[in-house]
């Protein structure tokens, strides 16, 4: 969606790459000594380079860096990045302990590092009020609501995919398409009418990755703050109409949703939730479609298998029809495993914590890395291979551990839009499969950029061939 500086294309000699990933030069240090007699282990790790810490390697190598970290230090380690010391967590058991958060020792305020002030007070950022807000928001994600959203998403996908050129870059197109789906499904806007709001949204998203994290005239931070203000004004102005409408767009539904006790959101809460829902939903879906298209281009036999089901189903399916596209289900799951669109889940300890035997001091930013679980050979056969059948009976490798496969997180903050996200991604892929075969350019080499929601450097060019 957004053009970002790409660290992923800087050439790095192989010897340096393997030295960086193995962490060969670093001396192990402890995050903090555990209390005497506690029996807990100190968290091992190293700070990385002066100033930048491990930030550059993390953005460059993403899952490879994270897996190397777990190999070197185990499931809980620490490093410096983005100016702070953080604990990094990989592996299903430690992930489960953080995400289920039984003793309420982990706060969502860890996410403020990235989201504040552009996406503040979104559902993911709430602690004490979370359960009550989630109950109200749940009313916007019932099956009949999802069916209505899926119908509109299908219409937008068909219009957006009509008349594609013979060669195009996948990710920018999917960024535009998911924005338009967001505009029509979430806000109920007429087709193509929401450009200023979508620009404001993009500015706010870009603000989250600003290097200078204070208002510099002309900088991304300041533009992001302006974007946030404009989004607030837009949603606030539209709210009275939405409160009294029977509209089936998410904004109308959220404005009138009540939980079982009759509680509903205040005006400010609706505005904050709408702005956050957009950031939660759009880039994640664009990344998932892009990853699936890449794998389907590399593995034409899977593209044909998925197409056969789409052809049998026919155009413009409803929600039940989309559910029956079982090959696409497997393909999308495998794409989510290999490229998790939310590559880190961030928390902060509110007191000293025993995390599976490791001592985390209060106030530690704690980052869970799903890739460490998604590539763990303890659960996945040949984890680097694209092999969607691993999700099908009788293999069901995803069931080896409840937290082996966590593209949508887990515990109380598990993605509330998971089913909608799946429907949207499947709708787009289904419409593409009906219209085109696609393939990669000769000699194409994929390079994912991990500096934010993952995206392919160069956008992922593909060639389309007509279906004969």
**455 CB contacts (<8 Å, ≥6 apart)?**
1, 4, 171, 286, 287, 290, 448, 449
Shortest Å distance, C-beta 107 to ligand HEM: 12
Shortest Å distance, C-beta 453 to ligand HEM: 9
Q: Is 296 helix (H, G, I), strand (E, B) or coil?
A: helix
**388 CB contacts (<8 Å, ≥6 apart)?**
302, 327, 330, 331, 333, 334
Nearer to ligand HEM, 126 or 200 (CB): 126
Shortest Å distance, C-beta 417 to ligand HEM: 2
Nearer to ligand HEM, 46 or 66 (CB): 66
Tell me which residue has its CB nearest to ligand HEM.
417
Nearer to ligand HEM, 30 or 258 (CB): 258
**162 CB contacts (<8 Å, ≥6 apart)?**
none
Q: How far apart are CA 306 and CA 256, in angstroms?
A: 39
Footprint of ligand HEM (CB under 6 A): 123-124, 134, 277, 280-281, 284-285, 288, 341-342, 345, 407-409, 413, 415-417, 420-421, 425
Shortest Å distance, C-beta 184 to ligand HEM: 13
Nearer to ligand HEM, 77 or 284 (CB): 284
Shortest Å distance, C-beta 111 to ligand HEM: 7
Shortest Å distance, C-beta 218 to ligand HEM: 32
Nearer to ligand HEM, 426 or 437 (CB): 426
Q: How far is CA 387 from the centre of its chain?
A: 21
Shortest Å distance, C-beta 457 to ligand HEM: 20
- Cis upstream peptide for 394 (omega within 30°): yes
The tally of CA atoms less than 13 A away on the side-chain side of residue 185 is: 30
Shortest Å distance, C-beta 421 to ligand HEM: 3
User: What is the H or E stretch that residue 21 is in?
Assistant: helix 14-22
Nearer to ligand HEM, 23 or 386 (CB): 386
33 sits in the region (left: phi over 0; alpha: psi -120 to 50; else beta) called beta
Shortest Å distance, C-beta 35 to ligand HEM: 28
Nearer to ligand HEM, 20 or 105 (CB): 105
Q: How far apart are CA 207 and CA 209, in angstroms?
A: 5
Q: How far apart are CA 345 and CA 1, in angstroms?
A: 22
Q: Of 338, 331, 341, 333, which is closest to residue 375 (Cα–Cα)?
A: 338
Q: Which residues pair with 353 in a beta bridge?
A: 360
Nearer to ligand HEM, 138 or 244 (CB): 138
Nearer to ligand HEM, 48 or 235 (CB): 235
DSSP 185: I
Q: How far is CA 290 from the centre of its chain?
A: 13
Q: How far apart are CA 17 and CA 253, in angstroms?
A: 50
Q: How far apart are CA 194 and CA 39, in angstroms?
A: 58
Shortest Å distance, C-beta 46 to ligand HEM: 25
Nearer to ligand HEM, 179 or 425 (CB): 425
- How far from 61 is each of 7, 66, 159, 205, 295, CA to CA, in Å? 9, 8, 36, 22, 19
């Amino acid at each position: 969606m957004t053009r970002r500086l790409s660290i992923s294309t800087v050439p790095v000699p192989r010897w340096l790459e393997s030295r960086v990933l193995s962490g060969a030069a670093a001396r192990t240090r402890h995050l903090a000594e555990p209390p005497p007699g506690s029996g807990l282990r100190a968290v091992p790790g190293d700070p990385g380079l002066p100033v930048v810490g491990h930030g550059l390697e993390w953005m460059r190598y993403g899952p490879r860096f994270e897996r190397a970290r777990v190999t070197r230090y185990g499931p809980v380690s620490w490093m410096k990045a983005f100016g702070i010391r953080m604990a990094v967590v990989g592996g299903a058991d430690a992930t489960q302990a953080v995400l289920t958060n039984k003793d309420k020792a982990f706060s969502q305020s860890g996410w403020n590092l990235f989201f504040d002030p552009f996406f503040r007070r979104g559902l993911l950022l709430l602690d004490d009020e979370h359960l009550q807000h989630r109950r109200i928001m749940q009313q916007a994600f019932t099956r009949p609501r999802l069916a209505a959203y899926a119908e509109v998403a299908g219409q937008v996908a068909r219009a957006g995919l009509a008349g594609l050129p013979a060669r195009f870059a996948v990710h920018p197109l999917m960024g535009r398409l998911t924005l338009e789906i967001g505009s029509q499904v979430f806000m109920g806007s007429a087709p193509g009418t929401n450009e200023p709001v979508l620009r404001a949204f993009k500015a706010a998203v870009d603000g989250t990755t600003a290097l200078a994290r204070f208002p510099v005239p002309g900088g991304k931070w300041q533009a992001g703050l302006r974007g946030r203000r404009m989004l607030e004004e837009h949603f606030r102005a539209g709210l009275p109409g939405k409160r009294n409408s029977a509209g089936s767009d998410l904004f109308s539904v959220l404005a009138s949703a009540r939980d079982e006790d009759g509680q509903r959101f205040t005006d400010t809460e609706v505005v904050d939730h709408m702005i956050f829902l957009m950031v939660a939903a759009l880039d994640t879906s664009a990344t998932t479609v892009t990853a699936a298209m890449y794998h389907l281009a590399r593995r034409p036999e899977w593209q044909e298998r998925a197409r056969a089901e789409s052809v049998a189903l026919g155009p413009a399916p409803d929600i039940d029809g989309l559910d029956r596209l079982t090959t696409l289900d497997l393909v999308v799951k495998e794409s989510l495993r290999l490229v998790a669109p939310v590559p880190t889940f961030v928390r902060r300890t509110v007191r000293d914590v025993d995390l599976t035997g490791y001592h985390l001091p209060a106030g530690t930013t704690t980052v869970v890395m799903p890739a460490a679980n998604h590539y763990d050979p303890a659960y996945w056969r040949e984890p680097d291979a694209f092999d969607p059948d691993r999700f099908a009976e009788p293999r069901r490798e995803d069931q080896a551990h409840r937290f082996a496969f966590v593209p949508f997180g887990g515990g109380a903050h598990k993605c509330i839009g998971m089913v909608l996200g799946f429907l949207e991604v499947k709708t787009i892929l289904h419409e593409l499969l009906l219209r085109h075969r696609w393939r990669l350019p000769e000699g194409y080499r994929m390079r994912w950029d991990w500096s934010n929601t993952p995206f392919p450097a160069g956008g992922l060019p593909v060639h389309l061939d007509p279906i004969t």
